[in-house]
Amino acid sequence: MMIEQMQFFLMIEKLNSFSEAANELYISQSTLSKQIKALERHLGFELFDRTTRKIRITPAGEVFRKYAHRIISEYREMILETEKYQKEFARLSIASIPVLDAYHLFEVFDEFQKETPNVVVVVEECERTFALSELRRGAVDMAILRSNFISKEEFFTIPFMDDELVLLIPEAHPFSGRGEVSLSDAVDETFYFLSKNTGMYPFCVEACRKAGFFPNVMKSELNRRSIRSKILHGDGVSMMAETVAKEIAVPGLTYVKLEQHPMVDLSFVLNQDKIGEGADTLIQYVKTHLKVS
């Protein structure tokens, strides 16, 4: 059982909403739900009554809440009291856009932690703008972001994963079943993009511009779950990295590759000339584990 999972539970209890808790924690709602389900499997009982529309804690959850508050409080006191002994360990703090689950990076970090116990990795998922802000002020050691539109003069980027942009569509769409389509064929489509605070928004707009048109963007302040809902209702289409499109795929939703094959990457982003030994060890481990150059 992870301390983070207890904190997730307490945030949901505090805000009485999964979606608001996910926003407050800067993670996707699907990731939050998976973490709570994992916690419930570990405990052997349900924490929330999912048969009602409103969030309701189960009787077992009420008991768990009482002790979770105590444990979190004791944990924070322990961290403060033992800070003076932490010099023996390298501590790496990472701010990442909410794609770690899709790329199985949580598992990679867990394996790294087991094999390299002297390097403590702390990861927080958040929006791109927040991650860059934390990196600039030195609050985190590095970030995991799409490197598109990141200043190479300000930051040092180390790509470790390539992905392809695909067109997300309803299964009933005329493009469905085709091997590839030209992005220019989507000129009359209504697009739903991720928030303008993400690196994907300007990249998608630029891909459309290169295809000869400016996209009709209905909304651009959505998360992946909201976009999926819009497309399932036949309200429009979207563009996402193929790995992410696979993660959110459900019956009624599909994607098609683009003839242009626009590529996006996932990169470690650091302040210039600030790659410590622990960071370099983690970066090399991830690149080796994912078998990328």
pLDDT tens-digit map of 54-67: 888 999 999 999 99
Q: What CATH topology corresponds to 3-84?
A: Arc Repressor Mutant, subunit A (1.10.10)
Is pTM, for the whole model, over 0.75?
no
Query: Which CB contacts under 8 angstroms, 24+ apart, belong to 38-41?
Result: 38/5, 39/1, 39/2, 39/5, 39/6, 39/8, 39/9
Among 79-88, 89-98, 181-190, the range of highest mean pLDDT: 181-190
List the single range of 11-15, 67-71, 79-83, 193-197 with lowest mean pLDDT: 79-83
CATH class of 161-264: alpha beta
pLDDT per residue as tens digits for the range 165-175:
999 999 999 99
Give domain 89-160+265-289's CATH number out of 3.40.50.10490, 3.30.390.50, 3.40.190.10, 3.30.2000.10.
3.40.190.10
Query: CB of 260 within 8 A of CB of 207?
Result: yes
Start and end residues for every CATH 1.10.10.10 domain found in the chain: 3-84
Q: Which residue carries 């928030």 as its tokens? A: 195
